[in-house]
Structure 1
Amino acid sequence: MTQQSESTTTTSTSTSTTTEEADVPASSGPFAPPFSPLAEPRPLGERRVWPRTFHDRLTAPLPNLKAMARFAREGSIRPGREGLADVPRIPFAPAPLPRVDARTVAVSWAGHASWIVSVGGLTVLTDPVWSRRILGTPARITPVGVPWESLHQVDAVVISHNHYDHLDAPTLRRLPRDTPVFVPAGLGAWFRRRRFTVVTELDWWEAAELNGVRFDFVPAHHWSKRTLTDTCHSLWGGWVLTAPDGRRVYFAGDTGYGHWFSRIGDRYPGIDLAILPIGAYDPRWWLSDVHCDPEEAVRAAQDLGARRMAPMHWGTFVLSAEPVLEPLTRARAAWEKAGLDRADLWDLPVGGSRVLD
């Protein structure tokens, strides 16, 4: 079902634009360059008309038959016995969530890409997956680091894209249906079918506000697919959350390395914390276009001009062939090699929290 078939109230059109056109200077619109003024916030829950496909937003071709054949020849993209031997050593330290107020910016890592972000008095969940197992993937190798019962209130949810390890229906069913959700363009119908009533869909470089906190949707090097027939029918991207006092947290979602990071950093200067993926990268010939490796994640943090980096997307689900602890060790080594302050690498254990000074 397309968004157009559901549209009943306010509508706005989104034109199809290539990634090359996205680099052409313009004064306004979803593809405005970094030096343009930030977009005015759009209304919460606005119903909009979207293109049927976002294939033109891809920054690399999807795997073709030749790549699929090579993948079939080379076998599974799962680590061997040695690569799984360190599962018990994955840092896991669940602890009570930090006490926060309207002036606090804090993050807690539940695992994978699921974070509890406290910003501007709101509790925001990113890509919440509290399930033990997701479709097509072995069960999680570390438990959820933050018990669901400890989330006394969820004020908003942001979704980066519709892959099953980022959009988990059983987890979302636990939420009240009036919870505000912020989603990529084209994904709103999925939520409305599940009776969510405040669903805000955004294009790249667009924003909305909730209680003084700004939610900006920004590009990523990735793609979307949930069924056999919906490849790239919805958009993908990351989120910049800006508190009323100007402090910023960037949640990258799923992404490969590329030119978007410097553009995001230019457009949203002063990012206090960048939450970046460091896992699911091996083999590189298969995954480099859509997943950062640890060294690329550190480079992305520098491109963004972020003051701190928190690694994610590792140590929870086995999605690729690298040994389970390798993403963390390589990220730490890359951070040190870059000459960055060790205190600014927030390599949290699953269940860990940090409060922004």
Structure 2
Amino acid sequence: MPFCRLTRSAAAGAAAAMLAVLTISLALPARAQQPATSTSTPDGEVFALKLPAAATPAANEASGTVQFIGTATVLIRYQGFTILTDPNFLHKGDHVHLGYGISAERLTNPAIELDKLPAIDFVVLSHMHEDHFDKLVQEKLPKDTPIVTTKESAASLEKLGFTRGIGLGKWDQVEVEKGESRMRLTAVPGRHGKAGMQALLPSVMGSMLDFGPNKAAPTYRMYISGDTLVYDDLKNIPQRFPGIDLALLHLGGTRILGVFKVTMDGKDGVQLLQIIRPQHAIPIHYNDYDVFKSPLADFAREAKAAGLEEQVSYLAHGETYSFKPRTR
């Protein structure tokens, strides 16, 4: 979630609005946890998404790909599924608007145009900000596209006319079926800002993608961080989902008004790697807007210092990472 520099008067107004909400949020008592509903399981609610079968069965495909399009937008293709994350297809010089009179300018172009994408089975949307779901996407993406996201974002999508939003709470799952292919997506913890900032920011989810029919032994396990900071709840992820094959990390070190950090910087990204312990990682969301404060070089330096450089692949816009299931 990038934020641009403001004029002095605009910045003062935005800061005042933010600080007012922040003051109120800090003064409110903590909410008690709600009891699970009758439709919940110990791991959350379970939803079903059945997709039309492909003409050629692909459940036994031996390899998959992750193509970096830009920002947090990647195209994942594996076992017959084609999945798009956080679609942002604006161009260099375009702006996104993020509330409180704040906007940000894009510095790069997407590697693929929106209208040149292959057929998409579903979208994974970490949260509802325009740098993750821009005005072009809101207008041009078919309204019947399945979109897996937070409950808050699903409500916003419905107001925009999207008819197949699936809103998840923490640990909720979507069982996806496409012909012979099976996968599960689980919403895992994510938090866009530190405690007290949440009243200013949308709810965020990380995502765990487990491919294959066997819940206990997926053929491939992929983690997408979403726009999160490092906090204690993330330690629950590897406990519930050991053996992560690939992690996609949202970096950038974005700060609101130059003060409040709302996405991971390079040091945070390495700390998350040490918590999640994936076999491999790809950094994304690091250089596309004018207010990212932590360049990719920060992460590369920290990863090398931690002895993790061999576990990281750095993709330029348009480049593709290929993977195969490992022997477990």
CA deviation profile, 1:164-186 (whole Å, cap 9, x unmatched):
21222321332222211111012
Q: Report the counterpart of residue 292 of structure 1 in structure 2.
A: 264
| 1:189 maps to which of 149, 152, 155 | 155
* Counterpart among 188, 206, 216 of residue 218 in structure 1: 188
- Which residue is equivalent to 1:266? 239
What is the SS of the residue equivalent to 1:186? helix
Q: Equivalent residues in 2 for 1:33-52 (5 A)?
A: 38-39=43-44, 41-44=46-49
Change (3 A) 1:114 1:203: same
Does structure 1 residue 249 correspond to structure 2 residue 218? no
CA contact (8 A) 2:210 2:222 kept: yes
By how many angstroms is 1:281 displaced?
3.9
Q: Hey, what does 1:143 align to over in structure 2?
A: 109
Q: Counterpart in 1 of 2:11?
A: none
Return the letter of the residue paired with 1:291.
T
Aligned to 2:299: 331
Shift of 1:231: 4.7
Q: Work out the CA distance in 2 between the residues paired with 1:287 and 1:275.
A: 23
Question: Relative to 1, partners in 2 of residues 1:19 and 1:350: Cα closer, same or farther, differing over 3 Å?
Answer: farther
Provide the residue aligned with 2:277 in structure 1: 305
Tell me the SS of whatever aligns to 1:163: coil
Question: Quick check: which one's strand share is greater?
Answer: 2
> Deviation at 1:216?
0.8
Contact 1:119/1:213 (CA < 8 Å) preserved in 2? Answer: no
Given that 1:123 and 1:154 are in contact with CA atoms closer than 8 Å, whether structure 2 keeps it comes out as: yes
| Matches of 2:150 and 2:319, distance apart in 1 | 28
Structure 1 residue aligned with 2:203: 235
Are the counterparts in 2 of residues 120 and 213 from structure 1 also a CA contact under 8 Å?
no
CA contact 1:44–1:198 (8 Å) conserved in 2: no
Q: What secondary structure, in the 3-state scheme, does the structure 2 residue paired with 1:241 have?
A: strand
Distance 1:139 1:101 in 2: 40
Deviation larger for 141-150 or 206-215: 141-150
Q: Kindly report the root-mean-square deviation, in angstroms, between the aligned alpha carbons of the 2 structures.
A: 3.1
Asked if 1 retains the 8 angstrom alpha-carbon contact of 2:249 and 2:282, the reply is: yes
Q: Deviations over 1:297-340 (max 9, x none)?
A: 011012012111111111111124x3xxx521121111111112
Check 1:139–1:291 CA distance in 2 against 1; reply closer, same or farther (3 A cut).
closer
Q: Secondary structure at 2:82's aligned position in 1?
A: strand
Alpha-carbon distance, 1:153 to partner = 0.5
CA separation in 2, counterparts of 1:262 and 1:19?
22
Whether the 8 Å CA contact 1:250–1:273 is kept in 2: the answer is: yes
Counterpart position of 1:115: 74
Percent identical pairs in the alignment equals: 26
**Structure 2 matches for 1:146-157, cutoff 5 A?**
146-157=112-123
Alpha-carbon separation, structure 2, partners of 1:37 and 1:309: 29
Offset, 1:217: 0.8
Instruction: Summarize the alignment of residues 37-186 of structure 1 with structure 2, pairs less than 5 Å apart.
Output: 38-39=43-44, 41-44=46-49, 102=59, 103=61, 104-132=63-91, 133=94, 134-135=96-97, 136-186=102-152
Q: Secondary structure at the match of 1:330?
A: helix
Q: Distance in 2 between matches of 1:18 and 1:275?
A: 32
- How big is the shift at 1:295? 1.4
**CA deviation vs aligned residue, 1:106-133 (integer Å, no higher than 9, x gap):** 2111111111112332111111010222
Between the two proteins, the alignment pairs up a number of residues equal to: 266
Gaps of 5+ in 1: 1-16, 46-99, 224-229
Listed one character per residue, the Cα deviations across residues 38-88 of structure 1 (whole Å, up to 9, x for unaligned) are 44622449xxxxxxxxxxxxxxxxxxxxxxxxxxxxxxxxxxxxxxxxxxx
Residue identity in the other structure for 2:150: P
* CA shift in 2, pair 1:262/1:166, >3 Å: same
CA separation of 1:44 and 1:296: change in aligned 2, threshold 3 A? same
2:291 to 311, 315, 319: 319
Q: Could you tell me how far apart the structure 2 residues matched to 1:20 and 1:312 are?
A: 35
Q: CA distance change for structure 1 residues 340 and 189 in 2, over 3 Å: closer, same or farther?
A: closer
CA displacement, residues 257-288 of structure 1 (integer Å, 9 cap, x when unaligned): 12232211111111111111221346898233
In structure 2, how many angstroms separate the alpha carbons of the residues matched to 1:240 and 1:138? 29
Cα distance change on mapping 1:283 and 1:172 into 2, 3 Å: closer
**For 2:113 and 2:323, how far apart are their aligned partners in 1?**
22
SS for the counterpart of 1:329 is helix
Q: Residue 144 of structure 2 contacts residue 162 of structure 2 at CA under 8 Å; is this kept in 1? A: yes
Query: Which position in structure 2 is the counterpart of 1:340?
Result: 308
Quote the Cα distance in structure 1 between the aligned partners of 2:232 and 2:168. Answer: 21
